[in-house]
């Protein structure tokens, strides 16, 4: 019988095994499957990366921030919760630096309810004897994504009229966090209300 050195055992057990990185979002970009939300049957779903959907001065009345800029999606696709969080951080950071902490309110519009799955397979040596290939290929929950449509608003920023260009630049930077094509739309509405600026001024004057 071979003797095993105890020092070798201790050194090998302390070294962590390499873990696989996350799959790139291009694997989950297209709406190929039916919606698969978290339910009592679909359990064990990891928490979405984005937890805050309203950033900035969200309790400021609508009179303070009349200008609104939207980032509008131009494709029918999925946006992962990681991408939404990255875009939120990018817009927030640019607006704080250039517009000031007290002069904007950002709202993330889509919510990542769609669960994305992964069929985990082993890729190490000798894995062909362990893995089951495509047998039982319905995957485990891997993350969440938002299903977005053409013309759907992704991010809205309300701010003061003089800071409208800063908001446009902040949303331009957020476009780099998303796949596909987006458009920046300067809204004619008053803040986050459904009234145009002329109508709002007219009805406000009426009392």
pLDDT for 13-25, tens place per residue? 455 555 668 899 9
Residues whose CB falls within 8 Å of the CB of residue 186, separated by 6 or more in sequence, listed in order:
67, 68, 69, 164, 168
Residue 200 CB coordination number (10 Å): 18
pLDDT for 145-171, tens place per residue? 999 999 999 999 999 999 999 999 999
CB 90, CB 37: distance < 8 Å = no
Does the structure show a pLDDT above 90 at 103? yes
User: pTM score, two decimals?
Assistant: 0.85
Residues whose CB falls within 8 Å of the CB of residue 13, separated by 6 or more in sequence, listed in order:
none
Q: Which two tokens stand for residue 48?
A: 């979405």
Q: What is the mean pLDDT of the chain?
A: 88
Separation CA 157–CA 92 (nearest Å):
10
């Amino acid at each position: 019988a071979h003797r095993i050195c105890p020092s070798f055992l201790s050194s090998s057990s302390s070294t962590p095994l390499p873990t696989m990185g996350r799959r790139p979002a291009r694997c989950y970009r297209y709406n190929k499957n039916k919606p698969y939300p978290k339910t009592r049957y679909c359990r064990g779903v990891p928490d979405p990366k984005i937890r805050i959907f309203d950033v900035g001065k969200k309790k400021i009345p609508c009179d303070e921030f009349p200008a609104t800029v939207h980032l509008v999606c131009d494709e029918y696709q999925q946006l992962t919760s990681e991408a939404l969080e990255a875009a939120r951080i990018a817009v927030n950071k640019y607006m704080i630096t250039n517009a000031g902490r007290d002069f904007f309110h950002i709202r993330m519009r889509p919510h990542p309810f769609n669960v994305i799955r992964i069929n985990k397979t082993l890729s190490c040596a000798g894995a062909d004897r362990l893995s089951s290939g495509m047998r039982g290929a319905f995957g485990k929950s891997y993350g969440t994504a938002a299903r977005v449509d053409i013309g759907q608003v992704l991010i809205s920023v309300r701010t003061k009229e003089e800071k409208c260009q800063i908001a446009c630049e902040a949303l331009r930077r957020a476009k780099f966090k998303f796949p596909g094509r987006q458009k920046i739309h300067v809204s004619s509405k008053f803040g986050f209300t459904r009234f145009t600026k002329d109508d709002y001024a007219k009805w406000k004057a009426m009392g």
